[in-house]
Structure 1
Amino acid sequence: MDLRTLFYFVTVAKEESITRAANSLHITQPTLSRQIKDLEEELGVKLFKRSNHHIHITEEGVLLKHRAQELLDMSQKLQDEFKYIDKQIEGNVYVGCGETIGIQIIAEIFKDIQKEYPNVYFHIYSGNAEDIEYRLDKGLLDFGILIQPANLNKYEALNLPSSDRWGLITRKDSEFAHYSQIDREVLTDVPLICSRQAIDKTIPNNEFLSWFGENDEEMNVVATFNLAFNAGMMVKANIGHAISLENLIDTSEENNLCFIPLYPVLEAKHNIVWRKDHTFSKAAQLFLDRATTVCEKN
């Protein structure tokens, strides 16, 4: 099995057609069919189900597609790094980031670097904490921007000079809409929609659970989420009230939702993290140096 064969396989999986994939790859259809058949024989599994003029990927094929794409992404990242290794500071920096205003600070760092080094390019991967940590651990990202609560034990980390405020997202016709703040006692029996990260007891020093105090077992969590947009839709459907960070869910007049801050005030801090054993390209090291300067100033 080589990278070229994996690239052929991923192309077939995306096109869902040997003919279209062969045309895209500029090879003959019999050659591509032979490559896929050899791959199936090597792995001992069927990667596609064939019927008439259509093919459908199997469960085994889906697993291989994910793993193959990771290998292809890593290969491209490695090629990019060596392309610039003997040159001035040039190349690509890969950063994963969740939904947070902390990206404003990262954007300012990007802007300043590109003024001096126009051949440094930045690639942002958006996702939740689980997605970002997974890609960091696989070496597909140089850095991740994590929002507390997060487990930082396996990473090196910098504290960004930014934070998001926690609060309750509720409908404007709810019993809480007129509140100026929400305390923990009020939330004890209320149906809550929480991010899985917020209520994860395996995260050391989970600030949200600490804020809730000894009554965290009495939280009435009726649903969980990993994307704030979906939480907002559940609130609109009157499933419950969402515990969320400010500015992640649309609380404009027409959306019929409002944000009420928690009391005592609870803020989620932001961290730039990277793998302890990660080897940086010159461009990635430059970003880390600039980010360290920004964090130490504040």
Structure 2
Amino acid sequence: MEFRVLRYFLTVAREGSITGAANFLNVTQPTLSRQLKDLEEELGKKLFTRSSHSIILTDEGMLLRKRAEEIVDMVDKVAEEFGSMEETLKGDIYIGGGETDAMKQIARVVRDLQIRYPNIRYHLYSGNEDDVAERLDKGLLDFGILIQPADLSKYNYLNMPAKDVWGVVMRKDSPLASKDTIQAADLLDVPLICSRQALKQTFSKNEFADWFGEDFDKLNIITTYNLAFNAAIMVEEGIGYAVTIDKIVNTSNDSNLCFRPLNPRLESGLNIVWKKHQVLSAAANMFLKEFQSKFSTV
């Protein structure tokens, strides 16, 4: 399977037609069609359903698209890393993480490095813990930010000097908005929009379930989410109360929403991690050294 043909395949999948892809790639339609047919024969699977004006990916085609994107990303990353091995430090750094105010610490490191090494570029990937871990394991990320507790056995890591504070986001006209803090009993009879991170079982431990106690199974969880921005929209529309962390949803004076912390207080630590035995690029090594120099390490 040729790398060039994978790029052809991805272009066709993106453009949705042989004609559009051929024009973009500056190749003839017969040449492109033949390459795709050879690819299907090599894999022994039909990748497209063709019509007179467009093409639709089959299930096998959708799987190949996902894998091809990962392969192309990896090849591009390798090329960038070797291209950065010059006297002037440059290159690309890939960082993944969920929604957290701790990204300010990453931003401060980036800001200071940018002054000294303006040719380094930074790529941020947003996703939940499983998404970030998968991309780390495949070598598509240099660093990940994971919320504790997390399985760190495959990674080198540093503790980040920050903690996420858990609480509830609600409309300012909600009955619970009059409270300074939210206790477990307050959540028993209200519709909840819960982060999948809050519900996740890690090493037989679920901090939110432990905080809530024996009535955890009685909660009325009507929606789960992995992006707090989307959860905030649900709250604004009166769907329910969102269990989330502080400072990632707009709860300013201009917002219709407010945040109330849990009582007793529930906090989650964070780790910046990178894969064990991974050879970091010169740019990624510089980022790690800068981070270590700024913050306490473990």
Whether the 8 Å CA contact 1:97–1:146 is kept in 2: the answer is yes
Whether the 8 Å CA contact 1:192–1:219 is kept in 2: the answer is yes
Q: C-alpha distance in 2, partners of 1:194/1:139?
A: 30
Whether the 8 Å CA contact 1:151–1:204 is kept in 2: the answer is no
How many pairs were matched up?
298
Change (3 A) 1:255 1:296: closer
Change (3 A) 1:152 1:208: farther
Which amino acid is the alignment partner of residue 9 of structure 1?
Answer: F
* Match of residue 198 from structure 2: 198
What's the CA shift string for 1:113-150, capped at 9, x where partnerless?
22222222222122232322221111100001223343
Q: What SS does the aligned partner of 1:27 have?
A: coil
* Match of residue 115 from structure 1: 115
Whether the 8 Å CA contact 1:95–1:143 is kept in 2: the answer is yes
Q: C-alpha distance in 1, partners of 2:69/2:84?
A: 23
Which amino acid is the alignment partner of residue 95 of structure 1?
Answer: I
- The TM-score, its normalising length taken from structure 1, stands at 0.92
Instruction: Tell me how far 1:189 sits from its aligned partner.
Output: 3.7
Q: C-alpha distance in 1, partners of 2:64/2:231?
A: 32
Q: C-alpha distance in 2, partners of 1:112/1:236?
A: 38
Which amino acid is the alignment partner of residue 103 of structure 1?
Answer: M
Which amino acid is the alignment partner of residue 172 of structure 2?
Answer: K
List, as ranges, runs of 4+ consecutive aligned residues in structure 1 with deviation greater than 6 Å.
Answer: none
Q: What SS does the aligned partner of 2:100 have?
A: coil
Whether the 8 Å CA contact 2:128–2:197 is kept in 1: the answer is no
Alignment root-mean-square deviation, CA: 2.0
Q: C-alpha distance in 2, partners of 1:284/1:176?
A: 45
Whether the 8 Å CA contact 1:150–1:197 is kept in 2: the answer is no
* Match of residue 259 from structure 1: 259
Which amino acid is the alignment partner of residue 12 of structure 2?
Answer: V
% identical equivalent positions: 52
What's the CA shift string for 1:180-234, capped at 9, x where partnerless?
1011232234322111111112355443333223433333322211111221222
* Residue segments in structure 1 that go unaligned for 5+ positions in a row: none
* Match of residue 292 from structure 2: 292
Q: C-alpha distance in 2, partners of 1:297/1:199?
A: 28
Change (3 A) 1:110 1:150: same
Whether the 8 Å CA contact 1:196–1:225 is kept in 2: the answer is yes
What's the CA shift string for 1:25-71, capped at 9, x where partnerless?
11111111100010011111111111112111111111110100000
What's the CA shift string for 1:150-193, capped at 9, x where partnerless?
33333222111122221111222222110110112322343221
